[in-house]
């Protein structure tokens, strides 16, 4: 029987692996990585990537089923994610003239990663 600690560790490792898969997938699509696992203001951004004049703040979700991954980005998650985006933008003034968006990459076993461009609105005000 797995302990709670074993479960948390397995979940952490699955998420870490999913982020690497997502990053490799995005790089093959022409994105350049800027940051991984950026945390600030009580939120976290899994990946920050750039292609052309667009910066994509990416939430990566790994689930057993693709539908479960799609429903995993809750309103609370979007709020915390947006707080971290605001903090990153304050620390990276050079990004002011770029386009920003919130993307998502969903990872499920035996499926190609699914990249959703502009998956949800950033709460930047």
Class of the CATH domain delimited by 4-120: alpha beta
Q: What percent of the chain has pLDDT over 70?
A: 91
Residue-level pLDDT at 20: 96
Instruction: Give DSSP secondary structure letters for 6-62.
Output: HHHHHHHHHHHHHHHHHHHHHHHTT-EEEEEEEEETTEEEEEEEEETTEEEEEEEEE
What are the domain boundaries of the chain? 4-120
- pLDDT level of residue 73 (50, 70, 90 thresholds): confident
pTM (predicted TM-score):
0.88
pLDDT of 79? 93
Distance of CA 87 to the CA centre of its chain: 15
Q: CB of 67 within 8 A of CB of 22?
A: no
């Amino acid at each position: 029987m797995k302990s709670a600690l074993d479960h948390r560790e397995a979940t952490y490792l699955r998420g870490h692996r999913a982020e690497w898969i997502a990053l490799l997938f995005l790089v093959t699509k022409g994105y350049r990585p800027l940051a991984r696992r950026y945390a600030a203001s009580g939120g976290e951004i899994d990946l920050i990537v750039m292609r052309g004049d667009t910066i994509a703040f990416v939430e990566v979700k790994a689930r057993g089923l693709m539908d479960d991954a799609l429903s995993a980005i809750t309103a609370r998650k979007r709020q915390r994610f947006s707080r971290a985006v605001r903090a990153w933008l304050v620390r990276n003034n050079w990004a002011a003239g770029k386009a920003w968006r919130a993307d998502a990459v969903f990872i499920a076993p035996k499926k190609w990663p699914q990249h959703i461009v502009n998956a949800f609105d950033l709460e930047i005000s």
